[in-house]
C-alpha cells in the first residue's frame, strides 16, 4: 500500500489542503476509472479539462485530488494538492507509485521525426539476439521481454509507461528501448524517467498542428537531451542540420553518427538492392537485410547504441546482419507476375521522399513506379500539398486517396493535396477516394516488373473514419488483390 506523502516526492507543490499521511489505492487521470481511495489527477488536455470532472471523481471514491486550480468548495474529507503542472505531477506520482522502475534498468530514448520505431524495434531485436531480457515501448507494440501488448500511442501516458517498466523490472529486463515523441516530452510524460541514453534521428516537417512553429518542435526535442544526466550518453545524427543543436546544452556523453560528414560512427553505402544493404561502418564491411540510405542511418544509430551499452564492435556487426525489417517499414512482397508491392509508414514529406529516392536507387528504370498516398485528417495540413508534389515528382503515376481521415472530409484532404502538384506533373496523378479501390487500381495498372508503393499507414491495421476504426491492412489488401488479378 502506498502512502500519499511518499508518492508526492519531487512533485512541485503550491498548496496542500488535508492530510498527506493516508493510504492510496491507485492513481487515475480519467475520472471514469476512479474507485475508492484513489488519487485523481486533473489534467488540462486539448479536448477536455480534467478539472471539470473533480466532483465526479470524488463521487466515485477519490480521496485525493491533484490539480492546478483548486475547486471553489473544498470538502473536509478530501485532500487537495495544488500543483504547478498536473502533467508533470502525474509523471512523478506514477514513477514513485511504481518505485521508480526506470532506475532499475537501462532505458534508452529515441527521438526525432523519422526512424524512431525502426531503431527502437531493431535494438530490442538485437539485444534479444544477444541473449538479454529486453523491453520495448514503441508505436507498433509494447514488449515486456517475450510478452506483447498493443500500443496506442508513440509515447504512452506516464502511468502506462511506469506500469510497463515495472513489469519489465519484475521479469528481469536489463534494457528497455523507448520511442520518445515530441508530444510525450511536451506533456511531461518522460519528466520523471531516468534515461541511460538518448538518440536523435532527424527533424523534418511534422506535428505543426500541435507545435506552433518548427523552432518550437525542434526545441521540445532538444529539451529531452538537455535533461539527460552526466551518466548518460547522447547520440545524434550530424548529417541533419539540427543534430548538433541537440547536443548544445547536454551534460551527457556526446556521440555522433553520419554518412556524409565526420562522426564517431560513420558509414558508407557500398551496395543498395532489394536483397539488402552492404555498409562500411568505420573500417568494417557488413551486409544487412534492410534497404535504403535511411536505414543506413538507422543501423548506424543502432551500432552506436550497442557499443555504448557494452557490446563489442564485431559482435554488434554480426547482430546487425541478422536483423529483420520492422512491420510496415519498407515491407515488400513480389507477386507471381513479378510486381513488387512496398508498404511503408512514410507520413511526412521527408520520409516519403526518402522512400521514393530509395526505390529510385534500386530500380532499373525500365519499370513503372506507382505511388498511392494520402494524408491523415485532424493533423498538420501544411504538409499535404508538399507530400502530393513529392509523390507526383518522383513517381510515374501517383494516386491520391484517403489515409485516416478521422473527423475531416477525405475529399477536402485530397483537394488540399492536389493543390501542391506542379503543372508538369499533374497528368501523372489521379484521385480515388476509397483506399481499397485506389490499391486495386494500382494493381490493375501495374505490369510485370512494376513497383507499387503504398505509403502513409504502414503497420496500421485499421482506417479511422469519424471516430470509428475499420479493419484495413495495406499489406494484406495488396497481397489479396494481386493474387486475384493473377488468377
Tell me the per-residue pLDDT of 77-98, one tens digit each, with 9 for 90 and over: 999 999 999 999 999 999 999 9
**Residue positions in the annotated binding site?**
31, 112-118, 154-155, 181, 187, 189, 379, 403-406, 456, 460
In this prediction, residue 416 carries a pLDDT of 97
pLDDT tens-digit series, residues 113-168: 899 999 999 999 999 999 999 999 998 899 999 999 998 776 789 999 999 999 99
- From CA 91, how far away is CA 99, in angstroms rounded? 12
Nine cell digits for residue 210: 500541435
In this prediction, residue 207 carries a pLDDT of 45
In this prediction, residue 153 carries a pLDDT of 76
pLDDT at 316 over 70: yes
3-state secondary structure 82-126: EECCHHHHHHHHHHHHCCCHHHCCEEEEEECCCCHHHHHHHHHHH
The owner of cell 526505390 is: 359
In this prediction, residue 395 carries a pLDDT of 98
pLDDT tens-digit series, residues 178-187: 999 988 998 9
**Residue positions in the annotated binding site for ATP?**
112-118
* Residue 347: closest CA among 63, 154, 136, 81: 154
pLDDT at 210 over 80: no
pLDDT at 211 over 50: no
Nine cell digits for residue 450: 512494376
**Residue positions in the annotated binding site for meso-2,6-diaminopimelate?**
379, 403-406, 456, 460
Amino acid at each position: 500500500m502506498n502512502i500519499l506523502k511518499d508518492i508526492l516526492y519531487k512533485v512541485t507543490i503550491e498548496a496542500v489542503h488535508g492530510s498527506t499521511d493516508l493510504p492510496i489505492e491507485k492513481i487515475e487521470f480519467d475520472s471514469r476509472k476512479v474507485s475508492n481511495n484513489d488519487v485523481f489527477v486533473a489534467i488540462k488536455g486539448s479536448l477536455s479539462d480534467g478539472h471539470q470532472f473533480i466532483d465526479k471523481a470524488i463521487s466515485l471514491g477519490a480521496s485525493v485530488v491533484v490539480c492546478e486550480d483548486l475547486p471553489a468548495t473544498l470538502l473536509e474529507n478530501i485532500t487537495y494538492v495544488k500543483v504547478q503542472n498536473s502533467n508533470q505531477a502525474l509523471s512523478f506520482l506514477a514513477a514513485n507509485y511504481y518505485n521508480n522502475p526506470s532506475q532499475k534498468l537501462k532505458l534508452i530514448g529515441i527521438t526525432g521525426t523519422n526512424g524512431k520505431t525502426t531503431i527502437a524495434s531493431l535494438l530490442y531485436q538485437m539485444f534479444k539476439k544477444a541473449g538479454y531480457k529486453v523491453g520495448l515501448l514503441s508505436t507498433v507494440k509494447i514488449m515486456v521481454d517475450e510478452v506483447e501488448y498493443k500500443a496506442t500511442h508513440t509515447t504512452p501516458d506516464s502511468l502506462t509507461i511506469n506500469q510497463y517498466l515495472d513489469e519489465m523490472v519484475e521479469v528481469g529486463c536489463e534494457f528497455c528501448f523507448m520511442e520518445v515523441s515530441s508530444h510525450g516530452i511536451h506533456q511531461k510524460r518522460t519528466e520523471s524517467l531516468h534515461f541511460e541514453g538518448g538518440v536523435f534521428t532527424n527533424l523534418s516537417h511534422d506535428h505543426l498542428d500541435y507545435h506552433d512553429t518548427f523552432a518550437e518542435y525542434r526545441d521540445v526535442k532538444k529539451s529531452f537531451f538537455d535533461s539527460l544526466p552526466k551518466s548518460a550518453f547522447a547520440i545524434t545524427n550530424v548529417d541533419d542540420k539540427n543534430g548538433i543543436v541537440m547536443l548544445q546544452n547536454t551534460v551527457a556523453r556526446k556521440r555522433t553518427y553520419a554518412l556524409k560528414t565526420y562522426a564517431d560512427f560513420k558509414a558508407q553505402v557500398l551496395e543498395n538492392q532489394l536483397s539488402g544493404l552492404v555498409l562500411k561502418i568505420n573500417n568494417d564491411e557488413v551486409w544487412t537485410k534492410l534497404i535504403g540510405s535511411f536505414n543506413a542511418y538507422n543501423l548506424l544509430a543502432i551500432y552506436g547504441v550497442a557499443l555504448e551499452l557494452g557490446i563489442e564492435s564485431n559482435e554488434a556487426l554480426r547482430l546487425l546482419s541478422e536483423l529483420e525489417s520492422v512491420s510496415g517499414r519498407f515491407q515488400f512482397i513480389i507477386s507471381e507476375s513479378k510486381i513488387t508491392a512496398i508498404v511503408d509508414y512514410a507520413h511526412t514529406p521527408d520520409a516519403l521522399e526518402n522512400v521514393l529516392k530509395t526505390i529510385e536507387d534500386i530500380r532499373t528504370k525500365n519499370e513503372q513506379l506507382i505511388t498511392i498516398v494520402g494524408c491523415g485528417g485532424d493533423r498538420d495540413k501544411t504538409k499535404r500539398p508538399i507530400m502530393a508534389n513529392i509523390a507526383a515528382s518522383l513517381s510515374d503515376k501517383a494516386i491520391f486517396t484517403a489515409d485516416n481521415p478521422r473527423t475531416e472530409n477525405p475529399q477536402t484532404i485530397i483537394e488540399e493535396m492536389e493543390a501542391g502538384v506542379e503543372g508538369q506533373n499533374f497528368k501523372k496523378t489521379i484521385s480515388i477516394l476509397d483506399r481499397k479501390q485506389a490499391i486495386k487500381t494500382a494493381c490493375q495498372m501495374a505490369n510485370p516488373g512494376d513497383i507499387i508503393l503504398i505509403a502513409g499507414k504502414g503497420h496500421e491495421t485499421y482506417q479511422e473514419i469519424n471516430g470509428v476504426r475499420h479493419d484495413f491492412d495495406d499489406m494484406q489488401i495488396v497481397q489479396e488483390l494481386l493474387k486475384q488479378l493473377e488468377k
